[in-house]
Amino acid sequence: MNCGMIAQSIGLLLYIEAACMIPSFAVAMIYGGGDARAFLFSILSVSAAAFAARLVKPARKDIYAKDGYAIVGLGWLLASAFGALPFIVSGAIPHPADAFFESVSGFTTTGATILRDIESLSAGILFWRSFTHWVGGMGVLVLMLAILPSAGAKAFLIMRAETTGPSADKFVPKVGSAAKILYGIYALITLAQAVLLCLGGMTVYDSLVHTFGTVGTGGFSDKNTSVAAFGSVYIEMVIAVFMMLSGVNFTLYYSLLRRDWKSVLHDEELRFYCALIFAAALGVTLNTYMGGVYKSIVEAARYASFQVISIITTTGFSTADFNVWPSASQFVLLILMLVGASAGSTGGGMKCVRIILLAKIARREFLRLIHPNSVSVVKLNGKTVESETLAGVLIFFFLYIAALVAATVLISLDGSDLVTSATSVLSCVGNVGPGLGVVGPAGSFAGFSPLCKLALSLCMVAGRLEIYPVMLLCVPEFWRRGNH
Amino acid sequence: MNVIVIGDGNLGYSLAKSLSTDGGNDVTIIEKNAGMKNNTIESLDVRYIKGNGASARTLIEAGVRDTDLLIAATSGDEMNMVCSLTAKRLGASHTIARIRDPEYADELSQIKEDLGLDLVINPEQAVGGEIAKLLELPPAISVELFAGGRVEMAEIKAAAGMPIVDMPLKEIPQKIGSSILIGAILRGGEVIIPRGEDVILADDTIYIVGHPSMVFRFCAQIGIRVRKIKNVMLAGGGRIGYYLAKALNEIDMSVKIIESRYERCVELAEILPQTLVINGDASDSALLRAENIGDMGGFVSVTDKDEENLMTALLAKRNGVPKVVAKMDRAEYADILGDIGIDNLVSTKAVTANYILRFARGLQNAMGNFANTLYKIVGDRAEAIEFSANKSARLLGRPLKDLSLVSGVLVLAIVRKNEIIIPHGNDSIEENDSVILITKGRKLLDLNDILTGEETR
């Protein structure tokens, strides 16, 4: 473990976090709330911490795979902790556990909140809350790599630990350029949505808050009733389309820019993702219509499709209270929470590509039972998937389920009902936001004990970083210097 | 520059490493067996594509259409030919292929033309040539050639008692009276680009630049006993051994090869009629003595195994061979060994990488002054580089003493037609000259890079 280099990277990360607070500071100044001072204080203290971390001089410059995991795991926990400062200092969320939960929920693009009355908060604080979605969606460390003038070969270790999906491949040779391209595409999508929302009659402030929540697939809104507050079909449609776009692997947009239509059209994950959205939306529409929740099929389709897209992309915006939907529809939403968006997108969950691979592995296993001597390989997009990657998918599946079970046991000790405990964990690990029961779209996580909030915060980080970096931090072997 | 390297073997890896760090090229590696993939992508800033480099689909995925340089460095010659041919058809601007089978070696110019190759690299032949140069000038630790062999740079160790020790460099021309130049001094791991006042100390390593015969004479003048090597023994009759024996035979040295595989011995006897082929184990000292190792002027160990080369080289040194060269591919070994008595360690990887980087550097600057030759010396810490001066050079016709040069750069020699000028302040660079420079701590892409900012305006 090269502690010096880890401290250097985290110092750099905190500088970038301090820089990320500047827009919120500006918003606070414009809207004249009392929170500008809180932001100034936060910016200065984060910079001071960054400066202190940069004082640690590394003995050697080389880092290895495990250092990459340590940078990402520790970096996210520290960035979230420092991100909670504005909430605490401004007095908006006085309790540290609450503030940490809200900050983690922002950075991990979960969108789960402990606030009961969102609209009572000042403009600057709400802007910061949503801006963390934007930064966390594509990744704080990827942002760092995009900004660095030259990210060396070792930067790949950091990028690999932060981006999502079963196998990390660069689509351009240099890590630095890959990060720049991803953020470039991300910024374009953000700009497009903000403009479209403004055209729909939103104020610039509201449109930015909802854009950050959408493209980061986070789900924080500045309205108590989320997107439903606007009651506009146009706004719902814009948000739904951009949620869907943000749930797609961003490297496909790069293929589009290179006019490589074929690889986009034939991408198995994209096809599965679209098909799943269509099927789920259709099913939920029919189920809610026939269950008598909505009077007309058009109305059912409007709410059902928005909710399906919001849940599968793990955004968590809501236009309807699905707590009152029939249980079959609720169950579909829970499955979508588990599946999640595409690898390499800003969304969470297990990722569609892993589900595809799991199904293919299962099919291969059946084939082997029928023809014991048969030899077959698993292919994705026409290419053979290496057996290491396949094993990785299976192990990831196990760890994901194990994390869900362990956390649910822990939360249920708090005394909540089974549906609330199970869905709050599922929603947090999948970075979705709302669950069912008390934590439904109209509810909040305020009722949990501080310990539960910390556990759920850890779940969110673990889910965002795809388990390994966070889990490795807890393994003693990870920190030992010797051979044991 | 966009570069594709096909093959993630020894050569492919070291090329990808040099190209991605040196000059910041965008490098994509294509490799069929992705066994080393993790190791490669964790240590190099490159893109890695698993696939067959000869298939159009893989090449297109790797972006062959916008590629400036494709290097085919898989283990198969034929594979490399097909890779570069396909790549050229698909739009790669320049292609380099490794072709090393001696059977193709004589037909290279034809193959090069037919496949549209820009460069063919035969690492074993290059190493053989490198070692032959060392045996030609025995005191030298390394010898590099410029301007088609008209200028030579020899690396020599200064020992106490030599007349040049403790002498300021500017006095050397008068006191020794030779038209050579000291291009660099290596003192305690530090490279010094010397000025006239600098003094050579005992145990310094110096780089002497000049016409080959002048360098040879200079060595004699400063008291190094230069005796031409007549007999050379080679341990290992692989490809390098073959090319080396052939090169040595051409400069009239008598060569003896010791090779352990009998079938290979028969082949060698067939293709190297002037060479004596011995079937046996080169690490067996009784055999070495029986073959008169004590009478050899030079001994070269070039088997596939670094460790074996090292041990047989030590054995030869113990038996009193004055010039011993060993092939050593692992740079780590060379670092930990230090000075153990073997005169030269030569690495196939380093020789080949130098060769290709030279070409790549030239390409990077195809519009300006073309870099013909580039040598990385003292483990990448300094570079000797040769440029052709064309109209775009802003220093033409101006005396060197009037130019404001950046620090750490020295003009070693100017080659004008057949004349070699060891430059003084009044000399100037003219159009079509070849200019040989040494530089420390900076990469030169163009002749104009040696001028300071003030000159640029």
Q: Is B226 part of a structural domain of the chain?
A: no
Pair B239, B329 in one domain: yes
Residues B193 and B178 sit within 8 Å (Cβ to Cβ) = no
Q: What is the pLDDT of residues B408-437, one digit of tens each?
A: 888 888 888 878 888 887 888 888 888 888
Higher pLDDT, B380 or A306: A306
Interface subset of A 400-419, CB within 8 angstroms of B: none
Q: Is the pLDDT of residue B177 over 80?
A: no
Pair B360, B316 in one domain: no
Q: Using the 3D structure, point to which of B346, B370, B392 is the last residue of a domain.
A: B346
Pair B216, B145 in one domain: yes
* Mean pLDDT over each residue of chain B, to the nearest integer: 84
The gap from C-alpha B389 to its chain's centroid, in whole angstroms, comes to 23
Nearest to A172 among B26, B41, B44 (CB): B26
**What does DSSP assign to residue B406?**
P
CB–CB contact A173 B27 (8 Å): yes
Dihedral sign computed on CA atoms, order A428, A432, A433, A438: negative
Place B397 in a pLDDT band, splitting at 50, 70 and 90: confident
pLDDT at B368: 54
Q: What is the distance between the alpha carbons of residues A65 and A156, in angstroms, rounded to a whole number?
A: 9
Chain B positions touching A379 (Cβ under 8 A) are none
Chain A positions touching B24 (Cβ under 8 A) are 150
Pair B169, B264 in one domain: no
Place B154 in a pLDDT band, splitting at 50, 70 and 90: confident
Q: Is A153 on the interface with B (CB under 8 A)?
A: yes
Q: What pTM does this model have? A: 0.82
CB–CB contact B47 A157 (8 Å): no
Q: What is the pLDDT of residues A149-166, one digit of tens each?
A: 666 667 888 888 888 888
Residues A56 and A17 sit within 8 Å (Cβ to Cβ) = no
pLDDT at B457: 42
Q: Is A197 on the interface with B (CB under 8 A)?
A: no
pLDDT at B211: 86
Pair B275, B297 in one domain: yes
Q: Is B37 part of a structural domain of the chain?
A: yes
The β-bridge relationship of strands B142-146 and B151-157 is antiparallel
Interface subset of B 392-451, CB within 8 angstroms of A: none
Q: Is the pLDDT of residue B220 over 90?
A: no
**Tokens describing residue A88:** 């605490």
**Tokens describing residue B11:** 């050569």
pLDDT at A340: 93
Residues in chain A with pLDDT < 50?
none
For tokens 């460390």, the residue is: A141
Nearest to A152 among B45, B47, B48 (CB): B45
pLDDT at A364: 92
Q: What is the pLDDT of residues B31-66, one digit of tens each?
A: 988 777 778 888 888 998 988 999 998 999 898 998
Residues B184 and B208 sit within 8 Å (Cβ to Cβ) = no
Q: Is B103 part of a structural domain of the chain?
A: yes
Pair B430, B328 in one domain: no
Residue B37: partners with Cβ closer than 8 Å, 6 or more residues away: B8, B31, B48, B50
3-state secondary structure of A389: helix
Q: What is the pLDDT of residues B79-110, one digit of tens each?
A: 999 999 999 999 998 899 998 888 887 788 88
Instruction: Compute the nearest-CA separation of B27 from chain A (Å).
Output: 6
Pair B27, B111 in one domain: yes
Phi, psi of B87 (to 5 degrees): -60, -40
Place B248 in a pLDDT band, splitting at 50, 70 and 90: very high
**What does DSSP assign to residue B278?**
E
**A136: part of which helix (H) or strand (E)?**
helix A123-138
Pair B335, B242 in one domain: yes
Q: Using the 3D structure, point to which of B303, B326, B346 is the last residue of a domain.
A: B346
Chain A positions touching B50 (Cβ under 8 A) are 383, 386
**Tokens describing residue A75:** 């970096």
Q: How many CB pairs under 8 A join A and B?
A: 42
Residues A208 and A129 sit within 8 Å (Cβ to Cβ) = no
CB–CB contact A64 B44 (8 Å): no
Can you give the CATH number for the domain in which B46 is found?
3.40.50.720
Q: Please give the residue of chain B at the shortest CA–CA distance from A64.
A: B42
H helix intervals, B74-154: 77-90, 102-105, 108-115, 123-136
Residue B154: partners with Cβ closer than 8 Å, 6 or more residues away: B137, B139, B140, B142, B143, B207, B208, B215, B219
Q: Using the 3D structure, point to which of B121, B148, B167 is the last residue of a domain.
A: B121
- Give the Å distances, CA to CA, from A153 to A142, A163, A376, B26: 14, 16, 35, 12
Q: Which candidate, B244, B242, B223, places its Cα nearest to that of B165?
A: B223
Q: Is B399 part of a structural domain of the chain?
A: yes
Chain B positions touching A176 (Cβ under 8 A) are 45
Pair B98, B36 in one domain: yes
Phi, psi of A403 (to 5 degrees): -60, -40
Residue A453: partners with Cβ closer than 8 Å, 6 or more residues away: A97, A98, A100, A101, A114, A445
> Can you give the length of chain A in residues?
484
**How many independent structural domains does chain B possess?**
4
CB–CB contact B45 A64 (8 Å): no
Q: Is B236 part of a structural domain of the chain?
A: yes
Pair B322, B369 in one domain: no
Can you give the CATH number for the domain in which B400 is found?
3.30.70.1450
Give the mean model confidence (pLDDT) for residues B131-159: 83
Q: Is the pLDDT of residue B366 over 70?
A: no
Nearest to B43 among A153, A173, A176 (CB): A153
Q: Is B351 part of a structural domain of the chain?
A: no
Pair B326, B367 in one domain: no
pLDDT at A39: 93
CB–CB contact A386 B27 (8 Å): no
Q: What percent of chain B shows pLDDT beyond 70?
A: 94
**B399: part of which helix (H) or strand (E)?**
none
Within 10 Å of residue B255's Cβ, how many Cβ atoms?
22
Q: Is B404 part of a structural domain of the chain?
A: yes
Q: Please give the residue of chain B at the shortest CA–CA distance from A66.
A: B42
CB–CB contact A65 B20 (8 Å): no
Chain B positions touching A179 (Cβ under 8 A) are none
Residue A133: partners with Cβ closer than 8 Å, 6 or more residues away: A106, A107, A109, A111, A212, A213, A216, A217, A218, A219, A220
Place B143 in a pLDDT band, splitting at 50, 70 and 90: confident
Enclosing domain of residue B368: 356-456
CB–CB contact B42 A175 (8 Å): no
pLDDT at B418: 78
Phi, psi of B5 (to 5 degrees): -115, 125
Q: What is the pLDDT of residues B257-315, one digit of tens each?
A: 999 999 999 999 999 999 999 999 988 888 988 888 888 989 999 998 888 999 999 99
Give the mean model confidence (pLDDT) for residues B354-380: 69
Residues B99 and B117 sit within 8 Å (Cβ to Cβ) = no
For tokens 């976090």, the residue is: A17
Pair B217, B298 in one domain: no
**What does DSSP assign to residue B147?**
G
Q: What is the pLDDT of residues A439-455, one digit of tens each?
A: 988 888 998 999 999 99
Give the mean model confidence (pLDDT) for residues B379-405: 80
pLDDT at B417: 80
